[in-house]
A and B are shown apart, each in its own frame.
Chain A
Amino acid sequence: MLLSIRNLEKRYAEHVALQNISLEIPKGCIFGLLGPNGAGKTSLIRIITQITGPDAGEIYFDGERLRLEHADQIGYLPEERGLYKKMKVGEQLLYLAQLKGMRKDEALAKLKDWFIRLDIKDWWNKPVDDLSKGMQQKTQFIATVVHEPKLLILDEPFSGFDPINANMLKDEILAIKERGTTILFSTHRMESVEELCDEIALINHARVVLSGNKAEVQARFKKNQFMIRFEGNLMQMPGIEVISQQPSHAVLRLSEGIGTNEAIALLIQQVRLLEFKELIPSFNEIFIQVVSETN
């Protein structure tokens, strides 16, 4: 485990931000931190980045109790992001890299690599003020990853990116994961959860209400529903409920005790079966279901 969070509590004067939060984040995975606005995601992230401290509970980073020195091994891209507007891109990144404990020459070399890789060589001496929003996002992303952190925390990384840059960012995130970096990825966009995450945790009202491996979680929410494509006339069958029907498509739910093989055996007596597919709930559905159940 890269990060073990145990029984974390955080209370602000008027409300409880985190209540008994425990999470295990394995090394080298992309961990999706989900939850509606105000659920406590940012509070949790700020405790992991040691911007604030917890009231109770502990965090272990790579086997050690989380300490100030670990800050240099964490890269954090906050949701609300910004840069010094008057500073030049190059010197700003150099400053931020040095604040993460890099030596100047080392930071300079790594930054040059990034500038070449993202094809932004001529930005070095531009003041941040002159950059477009998308360019600033790229700059900020470099600032987050240049020191090659063990843990990368990305809070809504795709917001503000156009589709082309979002794709580029996705590729970069996957490449960073390949190098063994653990990524904590907080988002509302369920399609990117489906695409990128290996593990997820859903936080609502300061508590973890759902967590686990992505496929495992999806399996938990399966409703035993199947989509079929067919030719012919679909009749009522014992143990198979037709939820919706169109001339060539239908959604069926199998009763307890009826397996897919039995269902198919029944179906082929009536129609020519072209396709039989299990309906796996999307994370969007899971999200909405769990959040409304726990509200």
Chain B
Amino acid sequence: MNKIFLVIQREYVTRVLKKSFWISSLLAPVLLTAIYAIPIWLAMKDKEHKKVAILDLSHLWKPVDLQDKELIFTFISKSEMQFKKEFSKDGYDAFVSIPANVLSNPKGVHIYSSKNIGLSLKESVERLIQNKVRQELMYQAGISKNVYEDTQVDIESDTITISDSGDETNSSSVGAMILAGVMGLILYVTLLLYGSQVMNGVIEEKSSRIIEVIISSVKPYQLMLGKIIGVGLVGLTQFVLWIVLTIGLTQVTSKVYASKASSMVGLSQDAQIKANADMAIAMQDSPMGEVTKVLESTNIPLVMFAFLFYFFVGYLLYSSLFAAIGSAVESATEAQQFTFIVMIPIILSFLLAQYTMQDPDSTIAFWSSMIPFTSPINMMVRLPYGVPIWELVASMVFLLIGFFVCSWISARIYRVGILMYGKKATWKELSKWLFYKG
């Protein structure tokens, strides 16, 4: 037992001390944070405040009419001819002059700017002026203030898609889909990645010929198990780093955004609240926002536990097969003829996961989340949509059984394979090894 621990320790430490481990551990959270932060940043970036001077000869506008998230209006009382030469020197980005007869002559509004005026600034100014002009014209036409205000209705819709079979998908299951897809993809990549790391480790020991020395000290199954567990722990460490760093980085990012939002200069309290709300909307519109929505309605500890369980046991199952392949060959190129047979179920699970995602309660989805080879990815894809607890437990038990069977088969191939040199391994040969004695 102590010797397994030594093997685990070596496998773990040599890998964790590699530069490539830290690069991939740091890079992924940075990328994920960027996916989260860039849309928000873009949404906030537009809200750089522009100072606009306004000369209102009609005296229709009050400061309250000129609330805008991007523009800060200042009333001035200088002549248009004079001020259009000075406004940029006074620090204004634009200068709007409204004629006294704006209601009858809406085209008399002029917008001056030093640089080419941005489209959004032009639209914002026009919208503000237009709203007021319409409002005034309606009052003049006899529509009461109350009626007018009642007509200002905000529509907030829930997007619901209806499939051909009549199933409804609302926006929160879009989030579930993203969460499911992300977890499925991570499992798919890591099963292949760490599985082939185990295989390469076995090939390295065999081709460098250190294997014979090692197995004169430890039993082959101890070495195999130690290697698999060691590499698996590297994987878990990486997940934990990813999760912690991603949460940390996104927290820091949103703190930065929040402080930025509250320090916006010259905004009234209302405007600040509005700015915060804008940021919240921006966050919700980003993909992470969707996931956040789902996370709020899912059992996070359960999902986390299931994810780690399916990763670790699924990984144990596949990597024991990868180890068996590694033991039977002498080089990575020679391994290719065998690896496809292990990769097929992984790739198949990923393809099945596309169906599962669209229809998590279908028969295909059910069975692919039960059969040990496809269940790690497919059960994780189903989980965010809600799965009866007995199905989850059954799937986990089947996976454990699958792992024991696979590792038994693998260990029998492994103990023979690691000492076979110069003999080209074939499927027939491998199946014979299964029945060799001691």
Contacts and interface: CB of A to CB of B under 8 A. Distances in A.
Interface in B340-392: none
Contact of A100 (B217, B419, B438): B217
A34 B362 CA distance: 68
B438 A53 contact: yes
The secondary structure that dominates the A interface is: loop
B260 interface: no
Contacts of A96: 213-214, 217
A115 interface: no
Interface string A64-84: 000010011010111011111
A53 B209 contact: no
A72 B215 CA distance: 12
B6 interface: yes
A51 B216 contact: yes
Contacts of B14: 84, 86-87
10 contacts: A12-B436, A52-B438, A78-B216, A83-B208, A84-B204, A85-B204, A86-B14, A95-B10, A100-B217, A144-B213
B212 A78 contact: yes
Interface in B7-26: 7, 10, 14
B217 A71 contact: yes
Contacts of A39: none
Contacts of B256: none
Interface in B171-214: 204-205, 208-210, 212-214
Contacts of B204: 84-85
Contacts of A53: 437-438
Contacts of A95: 6, 10
B145 interface: no
B3 interface: yes
Contacts of A52: 419, 438
A76 B421 CA distance: 19
Contacts of A87: 14
B122 interface: no
B167 to A, nearest CB: 54
Interface of A: 12-13, 46, 49-55, 68, 71-72, 74, 76-78, 80-87, 95-96, 98-100, 140, 143-144
B432 interface: yes
A46 B418 CA distance: 13
Given A52-B438, A55-B437, A143 B213 contact: yes
Interface string B215-247: 111110000000000000000000000000000
Contacts of A81: 209-210, 212-213
A51 B416 CA distance: 10
Contacts of A49: 216
A99 B437 contact: no
B210 A84 contact: yes
Nearest to B215: A51
Contacts of A54: 438
A177 to B, nearest CB: 21
Contacts of B217: 71-72, 96, 99-100
B213 A78 contact: yes
Nearest to A87: B14
Top 8 nearest A-B pairs by Cβ distance?
A53-B438, A82-B209, A82-B208, A99-B217, A49-B216, A78-B212, A76-B216, A82-B210
Interface string B417-438: 0010100000000001000111
A197 to B, nearest CB: 22
Contact of A99 (B6, B421, B432, B436): B6
Contacts of A144: 213
A51 B210 contact: no
A87 B3 CA distance: 19
Nearest to A86: B14
Given A49-B216, A143-B213, A13 B432 contact: yes
A222 B363 CA distance: 84
